[in-house]
Structure 1
Amino acid sequence: MKKSFFHRYLSAGCMALAVTLTLTGCDALFDDAPEDKLTDESIWTSENLLDEYTMAWYSNMNKGWSALMSTSSFLGMKYMSYITPAFYSDQTTYGMANWVNSGVGEEMASKESTVILYGRNRWKDYYTQIQSVNRLLENAGKMPTAYRQRILGEAHFFRGYYYYMLMRRFGGVLLIDHNYDPLHSDERFPRASYEQMAEFIAREADLAAEALPVKHDNRNTGRVTKGAALMLKAKTYFWMGSPQFQNKSKEYYGFTDDKSREYMLKAIEAYKAVDALDAYRLMSVSGTKEADIAQSYHDLFLQHNNAESILEYQHGESRLTSEGAHSLDQMGMPPVLTGTQCAYCPTQNHVDEYGMRDGKPFDQQNPYANRDYRFYANVLYDGTTFRDSLMELHYVIDKTGKEVAQSGLTKYGTGRNNGFTRTGYYMRKFLDPKTSYPYKDNEGSKQDYPIWRYAELLLDYAEAAFRTGDVKTALEKVNLVRQRVHMQPLESVTLAQILNERRVEMAFEETTYWDEIRLGTAVKDLNGSTNPLRLIKIVYRADGTKTYATEELKNQKAERAFRDYQYYGPIPWDEVRFQGIEQNTGWTEK
């Protein structure tokens, strides 16, 4: 089985580099190792060791589909919990009730101490990688010319990328562009303005684009490319041109005036540059019947590095956990298929985002008929089948008149905390019906995790065009996405329609969470008090009729909270004191 470049090095190379650096393990590579060990001449002159050195840049940019949800307080295990950012949006929720007590659950509920802890960890992780890049760039002259260009391209990409990640979490941060040892230096750094962040990230992206190829050979498939670098530049401008960052009180929160048009126009030019590479396209969706169209669209998300992918987290072709396999299918499996976690349960809030097709009216007594084809690809609902099993997500009335939950609404097994859907739905998107489940020993799932893909580029472009007055182009870009999946083109378009198209096309992808931040809608949409998650309750009656009722999930005010000041996360207090910078408004030291 072919390994990706990523896991080829993680599985074999990390030990070799550890020996070279006299380290004890990969986890300590950039965090605890003495600096003099990291600058050993053998690293900068060896292509293999340099590639192994860069692996931390790839592995820390995202966790991909890997997830850990612990509720144990032993050794702080609950605060090691992590999952895709999409989990924080209103499109999905968890099936295991005790997950509310995990670190992720506490962060979703805005428990301040947990939010501060997670913020400190992310700040540290991102700056660790930036320092690693700075260290390499300081030694760039020692690298042989044969492979210097590609590695320098990766370095500039990741320095820009990690600053982009920091900006999304904290606003303007400390721009450190050289090797920096705070223990032996009097140097201090101010917080950068948004404009300075934009200039720095865009410059890094340009340097990366100049050095990187449009496409790698098969051995290096999955590495960052010229297209990924240009997309980073576009995404940075797109973020900065969004509503949340205009007319702010301080320059590290955004712009003190309105620069939306200026930065959206810059974003459009960057998206055009990605398009001009002629390296990406929408993958086609085949079929003429509803089930065939839905299946064809669904299967696109099981492919690795296809023509639509601009950047994705590489989990590899192998199903071995030692080579990057994850537990997505196990975590998402319905109980009728022996699933016990049911981690991704689409909400009625999300189901309502799928429109009708061909102008058909919505039928309250037949709510799953004639919906957007993507609904059938993305969501498991009552009456559909998956892995040859019928999804019975309803109640029946027994002889005593009692409502009895059917198989899809009851847990599998005897575990006290085993989960089942709280919403009446399970996720279908990304699940692979061909994955052997239950997993064999040391095996898992192999779906890659999309970070940026061409459909997102088109929808970004559409929004940017609309916000700058080019409604015609906005309509064209949206219709490209819709028609790919056999949906009828829109005759005209509004901003609300563009944003809804994003929610449908990008369902369960992390941009659905980040959109809430950049649009300034998180306080409204991520709070259980203002936007409670909703479920559907379906009852089959003895006379053959069915009832469909939507209800709010319980405990929404306690489970989901987002305060206005959380648009800008808490900078570690040690950093605030050491650098003499201002903390983001709203955060207080306990």
Structure 2
Amino acid sequence: MKNIKNITFISFSILFVSLFTACEKDYFDTQPDNQLSVDGIFSNRGQTETWWAGLFSNIPDIWDQPYNYQYGLTTDESDASNWINPGINSGAITPDNTPSNFQSLYERIRLATIFLDRVDGNIEILEQAGGDQIIQHYKGEARFLRAYYYWRMMKQLGPVAFAPLEPGQPGDDFQIPRSTWDESVDFVLSELALAKSDLPVDYYLDGNAVDGTQIGRINKIIVTALESQILLYHASPLFNGNTELADFKNLDGTVLFNQVYDASRWDRAAQKAIEAIDIAEANGKSLFRVEDSDPFRAGFLSSRNLFWDGWRTEGIWVRPSSSSSQWEIHAAPRSTAGTAYNGIAVIQSLVDEYRMDDGTSIEDSDIYNEDTYTDAATTYYAAGTNAMYTNREPRFYAHISFNGSDNPGVEKSGINNSRVEFFYSGTSGKSASPRDWPKTGYTARKNIHPTFSVNPWVTVSRPAMLIRLAELYLNYAEALNESNPGDPNILLYLNRIKTRAGLPEMTAGLSQEQMRQEIRHERRIELSFEGHRYFDVRRWKIAGLPGSNQGGAFYGMDMNKGTFLSDPAFHTRTIGFTRAPWQRKFYFMPYGQNEMDRNKQLVQFPGY
């Protein structure tokens, strides 16, 4: 949806103006005098539905670069500091330059509140066939989106200040403190429950066929999946008995994070996760799989093709449009036809997390080494590739471009462009470009279509999965391991993901802590580059620990060296870049100073 011009929607602490002026003609069907009142909008079906459609505009696109800049390039997944380096990486994050988009979320929340207040009076919709149900569904979606936008703010800011549930009036008091975390969760969950009661399980044509024109609309499957995510976070160490944040208080002394650990939250999270799985699978959802006579190839194709062939099967909440082409052009190597940008660098610690093809870690493997080079080419890499990249699990070849890997898209014509060369003088190395090279010697290749080309421009349009079934399986395994360690369903659901990826099943016998680490490892690999890592390391409170550190030195191969594919000088672990040390304040983003100045009841997160 295009933005409304010349209208200022600021946070809820400023009274919404009842008259729109100077609106874009293609946003609302304007009246002859080019003035649209709220009464006029909600008496017209087309204008009301345009308002309703606009409520979806703050749903993120996880493959769009601004989103990934914040939630990918500030984690131990990736880097693009040759182009951009978010302030948190240098420590230069303040209330004046907060990366939070809280203000635009408050704008959308207010528009949802006005919609809920006014839509019942739209006679034109009510007079349509099934008009009552149309409005019921619209209201359910508006209520869901209002709750979801609060949830997005909570993930960014912690406990938030909630706007009134009715449109503001002159004289209303908008000096509103933060609610506690527990109050915030209770409110969002209560709103989701109300929304769910107004929504269908899914949107169907006559019979049982899902209506493909309604992809992206909110249904009970999506709401239940979001409830699962919220309850998982609510049970996690950052939010459950976090005495480290006992000093985070409102002005009246109210402590904003509960100080007593509640183990029952994990049980509640597990129950909601299996409820979300059951409703999804009962309505046709399943893990996407590609069949092949070679199990390894099946695992590779299942992981690679998931994002363009598998969203109908595995996608729970699907965003109909996605800027996946922007992801592709930024991540693909320069040897791609038309010369891609070659700059979404993958950090060595993530590369190391991918298992060997027998399921062992690189530390436990008898065959992993970084000192030899293979003589044999495969579908996945060229002869001369370092042995550290051989015999790895299928997802490694679907997610990571490394020195010697096959080109993820369509290669340029000419010698050696069918393979990726990151060494200094290579086709995608540092010597031939001042900025378009990855500081670690790796780039992301997940969600790059094999037909992708820059010139001629070829990209396969596809939706983005905001929540997919694999996430729900991991939610369930994690919550169940915390609430009932040893339950056989932990392995059952974890192994479904592993075997889909071409790995052998895990066997029983791990301790709760060992299983916890396996589940966290699996989330890091399976959900890599999809916006989860930023929040996972925070909710687990491991962001400052070795192996999951979000600050300090980050490693890769030596981009300043290498004159041929098998050059040992390139294949040397070296510091690629350094970020500011982890600080407690980085658990959350600050509220903007403009909001602090308007709402004197707000308290800032400690450290800002």
In structure 1, the partner of 2:347 is: 347
Q: Are residues 1:517 and 2:527 paired? A: no
**CA spacing shift, 1:27–1:390, aligned 2, 3 Å:** same
TM-score by length of 1: 0.80
In structure 2, the partner of 1:40 is: 39
User: How is 1:15-414 mapped onto 2 (pairs within 5 angstroms)?
Assistant: 23-25=22-24, 37=36, 39-43=38-42, 45-46=44-45, 48-67=46-65, 83=69, 85-94=71-80, 97-100=82-85, 105-113=86-94, 116-119=96-99, 122-143=101-122, 144=126, 145-181=132-168, 184-216=171-203, 217-247=211-241, 248=243, 249=246, 250=249, 253-259=256-262, 261-277=263-279, 278-279=282-283, 280-287=285-292, 288=294, 290-291=296-297, 293-303=299-309, 305-315=311-321, 326-337=325-336, 338-339=338-339, 341-358=341-358, 361-364=366-369, 365=372, 366-386=387-407, 387-388=410-411, 389-393=417-421, 395=423, 405-410=425-430
User: How is 1:567-582 mapped onto 2 (pairs within 5 angstroms)?
Assistant: 567-582=587-602
Letter in 1 for 2:448: L
Q: Residue 56 of structure 1: CA displacement? A: 3.0
**CA spacing shift, 1:98–1:87, aligned 2, 3 Å:** closer
Q: Residue 552 of structure 1: CA displacement? A: 3.6
Letter in 2 for 1:226: K
* Counterpart-to-counterpart distance in 2, 1:438 and 1:561: 41
Q: Residue 60 of structure 1: CA displacement? A: 1.0
Q: Residue 457 of structure 1: CA displacement? A: 0.7
In structure 1, the partner of 2:472 is: 457
* Counterpart-to-counterpart distance in 2, 1:483 and 1:186: 56
Letter in 1 for 2:321: H
Q: Residue 426 of structure 1: CA displacement? A: 1.7
Secondary structure of the equivalent of 1:533? strand
Q: Residue 547 of structure 1: CA displacement? A: 6.8
Secondary structure of the equivalent of 2:213? helix
Secondary structure of the equivalent of 1:286? coil
> Is the contact between residue 381 and residue 391 of structure 1 (CA under 8 Å) also seen in structure 2?
no
In structure 2, the partner of 1:320 is: none
Q: Residue 307 of structure 1: CA displacement? A: 1.9
* Counterpart-to-counterpart distance in 2, 1:38 and 1:294: 55
Bigger mean CA offset, 468-477 vs 345-354: 468-477
* Counterpart-to-counterpart distance in 1, 2:89 and 2:26: 27
Secondary structure of the equivalent of 1:205? helix
* Counterpart-to-counterpart distance in 1, 2:341 and 2:169: 44
Q: Are residues 1:586 and 2:606 paired? A: yes
> Is the contact between residue 65 and residue 448 of structure 1 (CA under 8 Å) also seen in structure 2?
no
**CA spacing shift, 1:391–1:188, aligned 2, 3 Å:** same
Secondary structure of the equivalent of 1:25? coil
Secondary structure of the equivalent of 2:98? helix
**CA spacing shift, 1:40–1:110, aligned 2, 3 Å:** farther
User: How is 1:405-484 mapped onto 2 (pairs within 5 angstroms)?
Assistant: 405-410=425-430, 417-438=434-455, 440=457, 446-471=461-486, 472-484=488-500
Identity value in percent:
19
> Is the contact between residue 302 and residue 447 of structure 1 (CA under 8 Å) also seen in structure 2?
yes
> Is the contact between residue 222 and residue 305 of structure 1 (CA under 8 Å) also seen in structure 2?
no
Aligned residues: 524
Bigger mean CA offset, 133-142 vs 358-367: 358-367
Letter in 2 for 1:61: I
Q: Residue 546 of structure 1: CA displacement? A: 5.1
* Counterpart-to-counterpart distance in 1, 2:500 and 2:302: 11
* Counterpart-to-counterpart distance in 2, 1:304 and 1:361: 35
* Counterpart-to-counterpart distance in 1, 2:600 and 2:89: 30
> Is the contact between residue 21 and residue 40 of structure 1 (CA under 8 Å) also seen in structure 2?
no
* Counterpart-to-counterpart distance in 2, 1:585 and 1:66: 28
TM-score by length of 2: 0.78
Secondary structure of the equivalent of 1:553? strand
Q: Residue 161 of structure 1: CA displacement? A: 0.4
> Is the contact between residue 4 and residue 23 of structure 2 (CA under 8 Å) also seen in structure 1?
no
Gap runs ≥5 in structure 2: 6-18, 29-34, 127-131, 204-210, 373-386, 412-416
Secondary structure of the equivalent of 2:519? helix
* Counterpart-to-counterpart distance in 2, 1:230 and 1:462: 17
Secondary structure of the equivalent of 1:310? strand
* Counterpart-to-counterpart distance in 1, 2:305 and 2:116: 41
Structure number having the greater helix percentage: 1
* Counterpart-to-counterpart distance in 2, 1:391 and 1:560: 35
Gap runs ≥5 in structure 1: 1-9, 30-35, 69-80, 317-323, 396-403
Letter in 1 for 2:502: H
**CA spacing shift, 1:577–1:42, aligned 2, 3 Å:** closer
**CA spacing shift, 1:451–1:276, aligned 2, 3 Å:** same
* Counterpart-to-counterpart distance in 2, 1:412 and 1:522: 36
* Counterpart-to-counterpart distance in 2, 1:305 and 1:195: 34
* Counterpart-to-counterpart distance in 2, 1:218 and 1:302: 16
Cα deviation code 1:271-307 (max 9, x no counterpart) = 2222222232111132216445313420111237412
